[in-house]
Chain A
């Protein structure tokens, strides 16, 4: 068996590291007490999972995550933090692309499961990468500069008709754009149309937008999801990370140009994930999960059935 890739924990509190060291006593790990130290390790060694505190002197956790992404893009990033205000959570989504957001105090067993799960995802990604390397070597660079296939469609779900109209106006000249205030209709569109990016508000008519996006991601893991909302609730944002693997969290009102480029980025991500499934955390997660327990998800189901199933799965989950 090849040597396991190490997990890196970062916290400015030595005693937290001492506890984590014992929690992960059967796993190869590395410890760092600052962002700088962590970056040094990331440059020198292969790290599968990076678990960092948020509030640290000099370099915050989100800043560390952002740098880590540049140095070691495939390392899976997790925040383990003592306090989460909305701003930080949004930052961690939009710039750190964090896989999980875990609050202190934590539960040892759950943390262990989560981190080990992430490590398995990393290993699997790596295998997939190695395989595709042999087949075509240019694929990884092409996604960034080619124009995006104009047949990929957009879907916006919002209860505000005014906003929907504005979005339709802004995007329909570039590609087919669907807008709806009806969640079921949105779901139907996802089933029938080649939709690449879904943007939803938190408050939908009679529906929780976070639930909706989590369900969408579960059923259509390739679809890139964005939350766009004026409601400010950090716990919703945390759920969107942990349950929905959200791509971006946008706070209304948002500049039009920035909106355009965010959608553009999301479309690129969609294309990239299609070409290289190893880039898709949700797919990886599902594969690792189904490898562990043979769970079969039926193919044709209604949105409410799906929501029910997703909720149940979340309740039984042993990880964060």
Chain B
């Protein structure tokens, strides 16, 4: 039965696949400054070593099919993801670990499944072919067969892999203890019943159909499935199956399952933490901006609203005065000297209280200025977000810098801003994203300044087919040992709550997306300059992307 040529071939295939994984490593430049890439590559090589060990531990006779499934695993999704994660290295540490573990688990499970499959097929096979024995060719008597069978059953019952045999009527004929345990049943509760008791109620038809098709000889059921625990709670399994002929001569399906609920949970968590990361990304720059703008806006809103209240008060005072004048007139025309005197006193009192009118000019003038400021803030916000504009289009970097300065106005109250804008052509870009880049850099510059003669210089210039933007501050500067870390996500020297360490990693990503470059020069105590080089890019003619008439 064992074809050693074939084994060797399969073995080679696995080694090749592994090598391909290993081949990734040199792609991760060892001299790269990016520490996370280095770390990933180190972990990857540890992983390949452990896979080698795993394969080394497989007893020889079982190799071929196992090698095949190992191969399949290496080709499978988690390891593909792992591959791309390693290459792009823009994946979080947690996610990377999870993928690593997922791939390794997959491999182990696949190998176990193959192991069991061979053993079961062998145990339930009618009579062994004369010269096809795997374990030894010394035994030929019934005794030996029974002994071998006994041994296999022991192995089967102690493997952590769940094994179930179902017949043509979809009835469960055999389960090992691992299988029963996985679903929370006693073996006796399962044997003799339809296997549909462990699948989700709404999937019963599907499973009956699949089962029949499988026994009829086609349809693969290898894969991840959701099934039901005795308690009704969903669990996730990795299943594989084999067709055998039972001792009664009828076809049976042997299914091998392992619990991958943990794995699924892990993957979910990884996905979730990735989402949180993205959320945090949005929060760090946006959150700061919202806080700044809200404060900027609420300040004029504060005094305008207060002034309106004051005007209302003033009108109430005025109304009172008018009413009293009216009653004085009445008293003069129809009343007595005493009542006239009383009215006069009342007017006197109201007049004394009537003081706000002297401030009316100031109140209204301040209010109008406040409203103008709110108006400007709103239009700055619009310019900054550019929500109403197409994503990728030509824009003036000088204008973008200006609208960012406007929005960051609250940060710059104490700081001199110098602009050296060159006469530069428009650049093809995602304007809103470049605004974020500038906002993050300006925010960092402001935060680096710890004295009261702060200065930030912005310059733009054309250099060949590129525009170069420089943002210079005279702040604390960056320690040389930090220079190659500052673009890493979560690297921050700021106190908790002040910085998330995402600003520059976002900047890096956006610049990269524009096929641009960013670099930094810095001297402790003197300041830092961030230089961004962006290709001007070709203006895509409108007609190429958009038809003139729409089809009605």
Residues on A facing B (Cβ under 8 Å) = 12-13, 15-16, 18-20, 22-23, 25, 53-55, 57-58, 80-83, 85, 87, 103-109
A105 engages B295 (CB within 8 Å): no
* Interface residues as binary, B209-230 with A (CB distance below 8 Å gives 1, 0 otherwise): 0000000000000000000000
A19 engages B295 (CB within 8 Å): no
User: Which of B295, B363, B452 touches A22 (beta carbons < 8 Å)?
Assistant: B363
Choose the segment among B8-16, B54-62, B305-313, B475-483 that binds chain A (4+ C-beta atoms closer than 8 Å).
B305-313
A16 engages B302 (CB within 8 Å): yes
B413 to nearest A CB, angstroms?
5
* Interface residues as binary, B398-414 with A (CB distance below 8 Å gives 1, 0 otherwise): 00000000000010011
A105 engages B356 (CB within 8 Å): no
Nearest B residue to A85 via CB reads B291
B298 engages A87 (CB within 8 Å): no
B 486-503 contacts with A by CB, 8 A: 497
B291 to nearest A CB, angstroms?
5
CB-CB under 8 A from A19, the residues of chain B are: 302-303, 306-307, 310, 363, 366
Q: How far is the CA of A228 from the CA of B304 in the complex (A)?
A: 38
B159 to nearest A CB, angstroms?
36
Residues on B facing A (Cβ under 8 Å) = 287, 291-292, 294-307, 309-310, 313, 355-356, 359, 362-363, 366, 369-370, 410, 413-414, 452, 497
User: Which of B287, B302, B359, B452 touches A82 (beta carbons < 8 Å)?
Assistant: B302
Given contacts A19-B310, A23-B310, A55-B410, is CB(A106)–CB(B294) below 8 Å? no
Q: How far is the CA of A58 from the CA of B292 in the complex (A)?
A: 15
B496 to nearest A CB, angstroms?
10
Q: How far is the CA of A105 from the CA of B369 in the complex (A)?
A: 16
B365 to nearest A CB, angstroms?
9
CB-CB under 8 A from A107, the residues of chain B are: 305, 309
Q: How far is the CA of A23 from the CA of B305 in the complex (A)?
A: 12
User: Which of A18, A55, A81, A87 touches B497 (beta carbons < 8 Å)?
Assistant: A87
A25 engages B295 (CB within 8 Å): no
Nearest A residue to B312 via CB reads A108
A16 engages B307 (CB within 8 Å): no
Given contacts A18-B362, A107-B309, is CB(A82)–CB(B295) below 8 Å? yes
Given contacts A22-B359, A57-B413, is CB(A13)–CB(B307) below 8 Å? no
Q: How far is the CA of A107 from the CA of B298 in the complex (A)?
A: 13
Q: How far is the CA of A109 from the CA of B359 in the complex (A)?
A: 19
A83 engages B294 (CB within 8 Å): yes
B310 engages A104 (CB within 8 Å): no
CB-CB under 8 A from B294, the residues of chain A are: 82-83
Q: How far is the CA of A18 from the CA of B294 in the complex (A)?
A: 21
Q: How far is the CA of A103 from the CA of B298 in the complex (A)?
A: 9
User: Which of B287, B309, B370, B414 touches A58 (beta carbons < 8 Å)?
Assistant: B414
A15 engages B370 (CB within 8 Å): yes
Given contacts A22-B356, A82-B296, is CB(A106)–CB(B306) below 8 Å? yes
B306 engages A105 (CB within 8 Å): yes
A13 engages B363 (CB within 8 Å): no
User: Which of B297, B355, B414 touches A25 (beta carbons < 8 Å)?
Assistant: B355
The 9 closest A-B pairs by CB, nearest first: A82-B298, A104-B302, A105-B305, A82-B295, A83-B295, A108-B309, A19-B306, A83-B294, A104-B298
Q: How far is the CA of A104 from the CA of B298 in the complex (A)?
A: 6
Q: How far is the CA of A271 from the CA of B388 in the complex (A)?
A: 61
Q: How far is the CA of A15 from the CA of B299 in the complex (A)?
A: 9
CB-CB under 8 A from B452, the residues of chain A are: 58
CB-CB under 8 A from B306, the residues of chain A are: 16, 19-20, 23, 105-106, 108
CB-CB under 8 A from A58, the residues of chain B are: 414, 452
Given contacts A25-B355, A57-B413, is CB(A106)–CB(B297) below 8 Å? no
User: Which of A12, A20, A105 touches B301 (beta carbons < 8 Å)?
Assistant: A105
Q: How far is the CA of A57 from the CA of B410 in the complex (A)?
A: 9
Nearest B residue to A55 via CB reads B295
A1 to nearest B CB, angstroms?
19
User: Which of A12, A18, A54, A55 touches B303 (beta carbons < 8 Å)?
Assistant: A18
Most chain-A CB neighbours within 10 Å: which of B287, B291, B304?
B291
CB-CB under 8 A from A53, the residues of chain B are: 299
Q: How far is the CA of A58 from the CA of B297 in the complex (A)?
A: 20
Nearest A residue to B290 via CB reads A83
User: Which of B287, B291, B301, B355 touches A104 (beta carbons < 8 Å)?
Assistant: B301
A293 to nearest B CB, angstroms?
24
Q: How far is the CA of A103 from the CA of B292 in the complex (A)?
A: 15
CB-CB under 8 A from B299, the residues of chain A are: 13, 16, 53, 82, 104
Nearest A residue to B287 via CB reads A85
User: Which of B291, B303, B307, B355 touches A83 (beta carbons < 8 Å)?
Assistant: B291
Pairs A–B under 8 Å by Cβ, sample size 16: A12-B413, A13-B303, A16-B299, A19-B307, A22-B359, A55-B295, A58-B452, A81-B295, A85-B287, A104-B299, A104-B301, A105-B298, A105-B301, A107-B305, A108-B313, A109-B309
Q: How far is the CA of A15 from the CA of B296 in the complex (A)?
A: 13
Q: How far is the CA of A210 from the CA of B362 in the complex (A)?
A: 42
Given contacts A16-B299, A22-B359, is CB(A57)–CB(B307) below 8 Å? no
B366 engages A15 (CB within 8 Å): yes
A296 to nearest B CB, angstroms?
34
B279 to nearest A CB, angstroms?
13
User: Which of A12, A15, A57, A83 touches B298 (beta carbons < 8 Å)?
Assistant: A83
Q: How far is the CA of A12 from the CA of B410 in the complex (A)?
A: 12
